């Protein structure tokens, strides 16, 4: 694991071992190399980090708290700390990356921003930052997701963003990304594609990790300050994997800290699911090589999850690498377990989680019991659950 | 054994022969298994009989991110018809067994090829009678493994170059290119356009600095006027979406009849510009 300390991952070709790379139409290659150069330049630019940090502090509301969940700890066992990304402006971790990339786009002189969104959290974050900075914003969203995440659609519209309903393929996140890439190929000269997850061609997985790394950096400092020691476990949900890679990145070199990513097992791993790393095989989708849900002929399979944000047949390339090198462990939780986690955190701690991190809570319900008594666990609560109330109440047949 | 020297490459030779007659070589594209599994063989035969110099066969993929609506739709229909990579190769074999001699080039996406195994795919494709390969989401910088495998199995790997391609990409692509170099005439996805973007002329000029193999122009090509325009500076024209739209919109004709009408129309008067092949074939 010396690799991480040297910051050699990804390499200059955007490779995480065999994963990553740049598998996109040739038209985009120049834009990717322009983006890589601009990104490498701002990473060490003091002006840029001052601007970014000031927005993160005063606009996003960082640092987000690290909360000791006493009731949850008593119920499940262990010492559970919750990293509260749900308290950020717009209600999820997605805004960390949106702020960073919009600033980057401004450096590139691009005045039009496009984004894809699944649960709508990334779309809302992007729409929000574009409103604040006065940039044109277009968000691609699957028709299916528009239905199940209606509150976020209203929010984006209020923020002045144009929403394009994607009706091709499975009408979810995967197809929204296809459509956004098609837009980018067409408008590459004035448009920045603001990818919201740690997926896509190099340098996107690296950019998204860098802008989400603030979660891991803060978490490490906060837990050391509270306990004077590192946690035993860090747990986060994984769809594309941006929140997970953000918090993992703070602990990669701390080999005593076990990193656990929770994928969506949907109706079960032998039914419809979105557990890419549990059930997929390496392949190429959306510009990078990574684990992928696909049939024997290499056609991409439809993913299924109760949560729109995890409903994706791919995963960020760095997660594939962390899985193969066994630096992180990937498990899964079903729709049912996620619903149970959703209810548990709401009742015990007065925090309504988004359905995405509810998968992590669902997994913890059975898992934490098996751990030594005073194990310290950081649970990353990537977003709040207001957007999911309708979905949850429909399923549980409780009319609002 | 096919020889890979320039003048012995089937694809390049076919384009060259067309140019010698003062014509712009025609490269129609059709998705395999569209509109039905049984349509492909008769469509290809009609295209051959009516002026196609090379035929591009689309391997359908679930996520064709370089395609506009028309080819997305044809891929979707083909997938619903049960087409997969093995089926595609079977259909290619059938095309050859029915006597089609025109060079065949497959165009597809990387993942189905990876799923089969790069080497295995190239071996089976060569065996089925495929002459060339285009991979829409594999830029030259990622093509190393496929370059090796296609060389080994004597398939031409045809690179795509774009209006945004820089000098380094052009150089790299021309280094391994075989058959022809495919220049994308638009910023955007496939699909018929009203006019040919004049900027592509500059791209062709740059490409011709680095290679002597033919240069084709594609994306957006839909009319006879486009073919004539392209013939002034390039060697071949690729057209797909317009052909597929024509097949979709004239349902009272058999698909192969539509293919025939469409390519005949493009082929007519194609030699009027009196193409000077020496100029494009140094």
Q: Please state the separation of Cα A102 from the chain's center in Å.
A: 17
Asked if the structure places residue B128 within a domain, the reply is yes
Min Cα distance B170 → chain A (Å) is 10
Among partner residues A27, A178, A299, which is closest to B112 by beta-carbon distance? A299
**Which residue from B minimizes the CA distance to A20?**
B142
Asked if the structure places residue B133 within a domain, the reply is yes
Asked if the structure places residue B43 within a domain, the reply is yes
B179 neighbors B213 (Cβ within 8 angstroms): yes
Rounded Cα–Cα distance for residues B214 and B223 (Å) = 21
A229 close to B (CB below 8 A): no
What pLDDT is stored for residue A399 in this prediction? 56
Q: Do B184 and A26 touch (CB under 8 A)?
A: yes
Asked if the structure places residue B78 within a domain, the reply is yes
Number of domains making up chain B: 1
Asked if the structure places residue B146 within a domain, the reply is yes
A4: alpha, beta or left? (left if phi > 0; alpha if psi -120 to 50)? alpha
Mean pLDDT of all residues in chain A?
95
Integer-rounded Cα Rg, in Å, for chain B is 17
A191 close to B (CB below 8 A): no
CATH number of B166's domain: 3.20.20.70
Q: Do B188 and A186 touch (CB under 8 A)?
A: yes
Two structure tokens written together for B105:
């080039």
Q: What is the pLDDT of residues A47-104, one digit of tens each?
A: 999 999 999 999 999 999 999 999 999 999 999 999 999 999 999 999 999 999 999 9
Q: In the structure, what pLDDT confidence band is assigned to residue B2 with cuts at 50, 70 and 90?
A: very low
**What number is the ipTM of this complex?**
0.94
What pLDDT is stored for residue B271 in this prediction? 66
Q: What is the pLDDT of residues B149-169, one digit of tens each?
A: 999 999 999 999 999 999 999
Give the containing element (helix H, strand E) for A6.
none
Give yes or no for residue A308 having a pLDDT over 70: yes
A35 close to B (CB below 8 A): no
Of B146, B93, B113, B132, the closest CA to residue B236 belongs to B132
Q: Do B63 and A24 touch (CB under 8 A)?
A: no
Residue B189: list chain A partners with CB under 8 A: 182, 185-186
Annotated catalytic residue A94: yes
Of B231, B241, B250, B219, the closest CA to residue B53 belongs to B231
Q: What is the pLDDT of residues A266-288, one digit of tens each?
A: 999 999 999 999 999 999 999 99
Q: CB A284: neighbour CB atoms within 10 A?
A: 27
Among partner residues B85, B140, B188, which is closest to A185 by beta-carbon distance? B188
Asked if the structure places residue B270 within a domain, the reply is yes
Q: Do A185 and B62 touch (CB under 8 A)?
A: no
Q: What is the pLDDT of residues A317-336, one digit of tens each?
A: 999 999 999 999 999 999 99
Range of the domain at B202: 4-276
Asked if the structure places residue B140 within a domain, the reply is yes
User: Which residues neighbour A72 within 8 Å (Cβ) at sequence distance 6 or greater?
Assistant: A80, A82, A344, A345, A348, A349
What is this structure's pTM? 0.95
Asked if the structure places residue B281 within a domain, the reply is no
* Span between the terminal Cα atoms of chain B, in Å: 25
The listed range with the strongest mean pLDDT (A385-389, B195-199, B259-263) is B259-263
């Amino acid at each position: 694991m010396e690799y991480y300390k040297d910051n050699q991952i990804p390499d200059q070709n955007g490779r995480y071992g065999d994963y990553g790379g740049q598998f996109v139409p040739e038209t985009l290659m120049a834009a990717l190399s322009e983006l890589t150069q601009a990104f490498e330049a701002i990473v060490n630019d003091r002006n840029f980090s001052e601007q970014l940090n000031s927005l993160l502090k005063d606009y996003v509301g960082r640092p987000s708290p690290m909360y000791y969940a006493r009731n949850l700890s008593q119920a499940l066992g262990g010492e559970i700390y919750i990293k509260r990304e749900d308290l950020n402006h717009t209600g999820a971790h997605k805004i960390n990356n949106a702020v960073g990339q919009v600033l980057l786009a401004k450096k590139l002189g691009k005045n039009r921003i496009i984004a894809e969104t699944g649960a709508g959290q990334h779309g809302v974050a992007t729409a929000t930052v574009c409103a604040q900075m006065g940039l044109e914003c277009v968000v691609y969203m699957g028709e299916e997701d528009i239905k199940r995440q209606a509150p976020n659609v209203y929010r984006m519209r209020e923020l002045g963003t144009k929403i394009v309903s994607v009706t091709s393929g499975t009408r979810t996140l995967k197809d929204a990304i296809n459509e956004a890439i098609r837009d980018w190929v067409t408008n590459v000269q004035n448009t920045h594609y603001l990818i919201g997850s740690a997926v896509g061609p190099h340098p996107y997985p690296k950019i998204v990790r860098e802008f989400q790394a603030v979660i891991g950096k803060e978490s490490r400092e906060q837990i050391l300050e509270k306990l004077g020691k590192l946690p035993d476990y860090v747990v986060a949900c994984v769809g594309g994997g941006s929140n997970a890679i953000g918090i993992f990145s703070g602990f990669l070199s701390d080999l005593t800290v076990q990193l656990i990513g929770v994928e969506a097992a949907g109706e079960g791993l032998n039914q419809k699911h979105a557990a890419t790393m549990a059930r997929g095989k390496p392949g190429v989708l959306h510009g990078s090589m990574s684990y992928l849900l696909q049939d024997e002929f290499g056609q991409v399979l439809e993913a299924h999850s109760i949560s729109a944000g995890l409903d994706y047949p791919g995963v960020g390339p760095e997660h594939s690498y962390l899985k193969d090198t066994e630096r992180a462990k990937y498990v899964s939780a079903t729709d049912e377990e996620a619903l149970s986690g959703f209810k548990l955190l709401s009742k015990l701690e007065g925090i309504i989680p988004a359905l995405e991190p509810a998968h992590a809570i669902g997994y913890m319900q059975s898992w934490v019991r098996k751990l030594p008594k005073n194990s310290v666990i950081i649970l990353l609560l990537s977003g709040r659950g207001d957007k999911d109330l309708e979905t949850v109440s429909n399923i549980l047949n409780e009319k609002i | 054994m096919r020889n890979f020297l320039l003048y012995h490459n089937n694809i390049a030779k076919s384009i060259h022969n067309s140019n010698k007659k003062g014509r712009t070589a025609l490269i129609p594209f059709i998705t395999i298994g569209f509109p039905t599994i049984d349509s492909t063989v008769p469509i290809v035969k009609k295209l051959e009989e009516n002026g196609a110099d090379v035929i591009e066969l689309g391997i359908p993929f679930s996520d064709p991110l370089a395609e506009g609506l028309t080819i997305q739709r044809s891929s979707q229909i083909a997938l619903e018809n049960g087409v997969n990579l093995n089926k595609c190769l079977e259909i290619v074999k059938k095309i050859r067994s029915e006597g089609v001699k025109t060079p065949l080039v497959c165009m597809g996406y990387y993942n189905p090829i990876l799923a089969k195994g790069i080497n295995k795919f190239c071996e089976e494709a060569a065996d089925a009678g495929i002459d060339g390969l285009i991979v829409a989401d594999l830029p030259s910088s990622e093509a190393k493994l496929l370059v090796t495998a296609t060389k080994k199995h004597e398939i031409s790997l045809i690179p795509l170059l774009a209006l945004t391609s820089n000098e380094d990409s052009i150089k790299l692509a021309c280094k391994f290119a075989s058959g022809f170099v495919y220049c994308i005439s638009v910023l955007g996805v496939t699909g018929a356009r009203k006019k040919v973007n004049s900027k592509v002329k500059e791209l062709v000029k740059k490409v011709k600095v680095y290679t002597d193999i033919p240069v084709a122009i594609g994306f957006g090509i839909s009319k006879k006027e486009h073919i004539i325009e392209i013939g002034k500076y390039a060697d071949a024209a690729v057209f797909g979406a317009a052909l597929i739209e024509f097949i979709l919109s004239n349902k009272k004709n058999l698909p192969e009849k539509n293919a025939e009408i469409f390519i005949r129309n493009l082929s007519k008067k194609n030699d009027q510009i009196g193409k000077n092949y020496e100029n494009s074939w140094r």
